[in-house]
């Protein structure tokens, strides 16, 4: 059972990157389709974020092309308003993603000079139901965060309590009075630990590597200095580090250590986001949240840590980051590396040969998404004009 649909551009993924690319193509009246595996656009924001997750970056760094945020909105937009913004973006640009289409394979047909994209129709009862889409151009926009990563920990399968990835976590409400271990101290882990602690859970968090703790205001000032005054990254990092010393003091006595690389440089070079504190540090300082070392193994409800300590837990939340799954379906051996991320680094990452592009893979959040979408649409428009 297979339908064949052909168009100019196939966009895989209807998150902010797919939507932004679609809007930019629409402004050039370039025909395209947007394929989305879920039943809604922006599934990360609508389905996979915890309840108290709001934008960490100021609104001027979180807008998509050709639609600024409303001036009455606060500087740091609540997730609910951001979803409303995305809904109005879709309405305004009349974006009609095709839902329940999970891209399973994409390859380039050299002779015909077209991309063939096969999708599984996840709504159909018939497991063999597939659609074939063909186009001159392919935009990979399935996101850096398309699948939760759960590490291989010795004995994990024997854990008797509740276990989930941070993308499934909504609220700490049900964990009142329970002993909960959060694994991972990125932005998800630190905020989920805070939420659990606020809901009366006896919360511990695994910290196994150094990381920066900042505030959203520090990042806003840092990003503004770079964007509007062209301030060098080392100077921005220096200022932020001085500011963090005043704000948080020395956190090493709480087993939190700073990496050698500054917060903005670490983000730019390695894509490692500094932790934007939402109140977790205060709970760590007042012993409401316990910091533990890495996990050595798990047996039943007992977790053994690398420093030899042991503790029983009712639940474990894996805030251990995400995997990008492009390698599962992008069948060409160029453009993406073995982790599924672009081979070329920013700012050359967005374009490959044979009309393939990627949007949203520069590890620069929504600002990176907008940058990519505009460049991609301009490039496709130029190519179509030349033919
Ligand atoms: C909890 C959280 C909070 C964040 N907060 C911020 C923030 O405040 N500011 C900021 O700038 N960035 C933030 N980010 C970064 C985030 O990556 C971007 O905000 C943005 O969502 C990226 O958009 P995207 O379209 O590239 O990817 P996504 O939002 O992940 O969208 C990709 C879409 O592709 C779909 N898809 C995946 N695989 C397939 C497939 N095989 N076939 C069809 N469809 C598929 C997915 O279902 C999804 O709808 C946050 C990330 C997380 C995880
Ligand atoms: N409101 C917002 O704006 C929010 C934004 N985000 C963003 O979403 C993206 C994803 O964030 P997040 O989900 O936190 O993922 P991250 O990849 O940023 O963090 C994953 C964390 O898990 C740790 N980890 C991984 N494996 C293990 C293991 N086996 N044992 C112990 N620790 C482990 C990592 O430590 P190590 O470094 O040692 O590998 C790291 O601390 C980031 O860009 C983040 O900034 C997330 C939440 C909210
Ligand atoms: O939330 C994230 O990690 C993002 O990708 C947003 C983001 C883009 N640039 C940054 C610099 C510092 C902290 C977060 C971000």
Query: pLDDT tens digit string along 359-383?
Result: 999 999 999 999 999 999 999 999 9
Ligand 3 atom nearest to 263, measured from its CA: 12
- Cβ(146) to ligand 1 under 6 A? yes
Extents of the domains making up the chain: 2-146+324-386, 149-318
Ligand 2 pocket residues where CB is under 6 Å:
53-56, 151, 166, 183-189, 191, 206, 208-209, 273, 294-295, 319-322
Is the torsion defined by CA of 172, 177, 181, 184 positive or negative?
Answer: positive
Ligand 2 centroid to Cα of residue 370, in Å, is 23
Which ligand is located closest to the Cα atom of residue 44? 1
Q: What is the pTM of this model?
A: 0.96
| Helix/strand/coil for 39 | coil
Ligand showing the shortest atom-to-Cα distance for residue 156: 2
**How far is ligand 1, taken at its centre, from the CA of residue 45, in Å?**
7
**Would the CATH topology of 2-146+324-386 be identical to that of 149-318?**
yes
Q: What percent of the chain has pLDDT over 90?
A: 95
Long-range contacts of 79-83 (CB under 8 A, 24+ apart): 79/45, 79/49, 79/53, 79/54, 79/55, 82/45, 82/54, 82/55, 83/42, 83/45, 83/46
Ligand 3 touching residue 56 (CB < 6 A): yes
Nearest-atom index, ligand 3, CA of 363: 5
Q: Kindly give the distance from the C-alpha atom of residue 59 to the centroid of ligand 3, in angstroms, as a whole number.
A: 12
Q: Exposed e or buried b for every residue in 132-169, given b needs 16+ CB within 10 A?
A: ebbbbbbbbbbbbbbebbbeebeebeebebebebbbeb
Q: Is the CB of 144 under 6 A from ligand 1?
A: yes
CATH for 149-318 is 3.50.50.60
- Enumerate residue ranges in the chain where pLDDT < 70: 1-4
Fold classified for 2-146+324-386: FAD/NAD(P)-binding domain (3.50.50)
pLDDT in the model for residue 1: 43
């Amino acid at each position: 059972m297979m339908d064949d649909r052909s168009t100019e551009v196939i966009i895989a993924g209807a998150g902010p990157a797919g939507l932004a690319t679609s809007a930019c193509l629409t402004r050039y009246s370039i025909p395209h389709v947007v394929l989305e595996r879920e039943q809604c656009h922006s599934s990360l924001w609508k389905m996979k974020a915890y309840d108290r997750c709001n934008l960490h970056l100021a609104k001027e760094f979180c807008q998509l092309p050709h639609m600024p945020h409303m001036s009455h909105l606060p500087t740091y937009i609540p997730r609910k308003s951001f979803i409303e913004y995305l809904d109005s973006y879709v309405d305004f640009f009349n974006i009609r993603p095709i839902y329940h289409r999970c891209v399973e394979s994409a390859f380039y047909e050299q002779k015909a000079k077209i991309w063939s994209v096969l999708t599984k129709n996840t709504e159909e009862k018939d497991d063999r139901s597939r659609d074939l889409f063909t186009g001159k151009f392919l935009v990979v926009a399935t996101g850096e965060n398309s699948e939760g990563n759960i590490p291989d920990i010795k004995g994990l399968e024997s854990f008797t309590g509740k276990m989930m990835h941070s993308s499934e976590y909504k609220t700490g409400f049900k964990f009142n009075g329970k002993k909960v271990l959060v694994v991972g101290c990125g932005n998800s882990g630190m905020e989920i630990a805070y939420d659990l602690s606020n809901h009366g859970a006896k919360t511990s968090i695994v910290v196994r590597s150094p990381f920066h703790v900042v505030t959203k205001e520090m990042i806003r000032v840092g990003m503004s200095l770079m964007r509007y005054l062209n301030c060098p990254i080392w100077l921005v990092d220096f200022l932020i580090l001085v500011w963090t010393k005043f704000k948080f003091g020395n956190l090493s006595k709480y087993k939190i250590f700073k990496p050698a690389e500054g917060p903005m440089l670490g983000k730019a070079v390695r894509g490692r986001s500094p932790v934007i504190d939402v109140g977790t540090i205060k709970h760590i300082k007042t012993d409401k949240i316990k910091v533990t070392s890495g996990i050595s193994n798990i047996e039943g409800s007992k977790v053994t840590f690398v420093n030899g300590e042991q503790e029983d837990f009712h639940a474990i939340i894996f805030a251990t980051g995400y995997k990008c799954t492009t390698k599962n379906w992008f069948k060409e051996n160029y453009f993406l590396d073995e982790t599924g991320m672009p081979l070329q680094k920013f700012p050359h990452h967005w374009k490959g040969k044979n009309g393939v592009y990627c949007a949203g893979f520069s590890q620069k959040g929504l600002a990176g998404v907008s940058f990519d979408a505009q460049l991609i649409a301009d490039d496709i428009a130029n190519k179509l004009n030349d033919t």
